[in-house]
Amino acid sequence: VAKARGSGQVEVFDEDASHRSRDRLDLRAELLLARSRGQLHLAYQPIFALDSRAIVAFEALLRWTHPHHGTVPPDVFIPLAEETGAIVEIGQWVLAQACRQLAQWHRLPEGRGLGMSVNLSPVQLHQPQAAERTLDVIRAAGLHPADIWLEITEHSYLRHEVTEYAGALGAAGVHLVLDDFGTAYSNLSYLKRLPIEILKIDKSFVSGVTGPGGGHLDLSIVRAILAIADSLGLVAIAEGIETEDQRAALRALGCRLGQGYLLSRPLPAAQAGLLLRPQSQMPARAHRVG
Ligand code: C2E
Ligand code: MG
Ligand code: MG
Ligand code: MG
């Protein structure tokens, strides 16, 4: 419906855009309260060894269940949380929650050696004392820093704080992951400046490794990323594996770790825990990363 403005003008165009921006403002405000209202929770997606199908870690993925809009995807609400700064508090909560969950799984015999990977927003890294606060949360859960993998996708230029944060955490034993590797948001200079140990091959390349036509290009890119990882002594994880052919192709290329809907979707904690039961995987969790 066109709206009459005070000037007598009738605003007929851009109605969708103004709806969208009003929705965004509402969401921004509601997001500030979402955590205290118990609307946030984590889903856990396993990271598998592609050969043995053993689970080596879980990635914690944030979920927001909005009372009217239902599940709001993180690609929508994380940028809003970054704009308001709410991501700092939310990010601390995500880390604490993921650490508590991992500590619980570590108490099971089949959870021993399991890692937990947590996504970080660049905004979190720019906070004073960010590294100390991160390590405090990990230790408060009774974990060792080496149990935790932190995923970074920098959207902006590399700031001094980021280098410091990554340096301090790397020195403490935390495993640093460069997420979405190969996309605009992560590039080779990070590998030079930060103590990265793990590269996540973006799903946009993984989805093409077996496809017809364009498949050739993605295959070459994945092969090149694996060669970079290999020559720098890094571990590669393929993300977004959806078919058995993709898994087989990645294995044949020498990629050791992977995650994706083929292997498991992100799951609520209780269901994720069931995957750890001995009958649902090969006996040995052969390796920890790093
Ligand atoms: P990401 O870290 O690259 O996470 C991978 C995304 O791919 C997840 O989407 C996951 O559910 C999805 N995915 C996994 N396997 C497959 C597959 O086989 N096919 C396809 N098509 N998708 C797959 P999700 O959970 O919607 O998260 C989107 C992004 O939001 C994440 O990308 C991450 O950048 C961000 N995010 C999620 N949780 C957090 C968080 O706690 N903090 C921060 N700062 N960012 C987060
Ligand atoms: Mg990630
Ligand atoms: Mg990713
Ligand atoms: Mg992503």
Ligand 1 atom nearest the C-alpha of 43 is 25
Query: Ligand 3 centre from 59 Cα, in Å?
Result: 10
Average pLDDT of the chain? Answer: 88
Range from 63-67, 152-156, 198-202 carrying the lowest mean pLDDT: 152-156
- First-to-last alpha carbon distance for the chain, in angstroms, is 58
pLDDT, tens digit (0-9, with 9 covering 90-100), for 21-74 = 777 778 899 998 999 999 999 999 999 999 999 999 999 999 999 999 999 999
* Ligand 1 touching residue 155 (CB < 6 A): no
**What's the rounded Cα separation, in Å, for the pair 63 and 40?**
6
**pLDDT of res. 158:** 72
Query: Ligand 4 centre from 202 Cα, in Å?
Result: 7
Query: What's the complex ipTM?
Result: 0.98
User: Among 105, 56, 94, which residue's Cα sits nearest to residue 271?
Assistant: 105
CA distances from 158 to 125, 126, 170, 201, 204 (A): 11, 11, 16, 20, 24
User: Residues 82-99, buried b or exposed e (16+ Cβ, 10 A)?
Assistant: beeebbbebbbebbbbbb
Nearest CA to ligand 1 atom 3: 180
Nearest CA to ligand 1 atom 20: 240
pLDDT, tens digit (0-9, with 9 covering 90-100), for 257-290 = 999 999 999 999 999 999 998 765 544 444 445 4
Which tokens is 258 given? Answer: 């992977």
Name the DSSP letter for residue 50.
T
Using 50, 70 and 90 to split pLDDT, how confident is the model at 4?
Answer: very low
Using 50, 70 and 90 to split pLDDT, how confident is the model at 212?
Answer: low
User: Among 54, 43, 99, which residue's Cα sits nearest to residue 258?
Assistant: 54
Nearest CA to ligand 1 atom 37: 61
* Ligand 1 touching residue 260 (CB < 6 A): yes
Name the DSSP letter for residue 110.
G
**pLDDT of res. 5:** 43
- Percent of the chain clearing pLDDT 90 (strictly above): 72
Which tokens is 161 given? Answer: 């704080």
Mean per-residue pLDDT for 117-121? 96
Name the DSSP letter for residue 235.
E
Ligand 1 atom nearest the C-alpha of 259 is 15
**pLDDT of res. 50:** 96
Query: Ligand 3 centre from 235 Cα, in Å?
Result: 15
When comparing pLDDT for 287 and 151, which is higher? 151
**pLDDT of res. 161:** 85
**pLDDT of res. 10:** 43
Query: Ligand 1 centre from 240 Cα, in Å?
Result: 9
* Ligand 1 touching residue 62 (CB < 6 A): yes
Question: Which ligand lies nearest the alpha carbon of 177?
Answer: 2
Mean per-residue pLDDT for 193-219? 88
Query: Ligand 1 centre from 258 Cα, in Å?
Result: 14
**pLDDT of res. 153:** 86
Whole-model pTM: value is 0.90
**pLDDT of res. 18:** 62
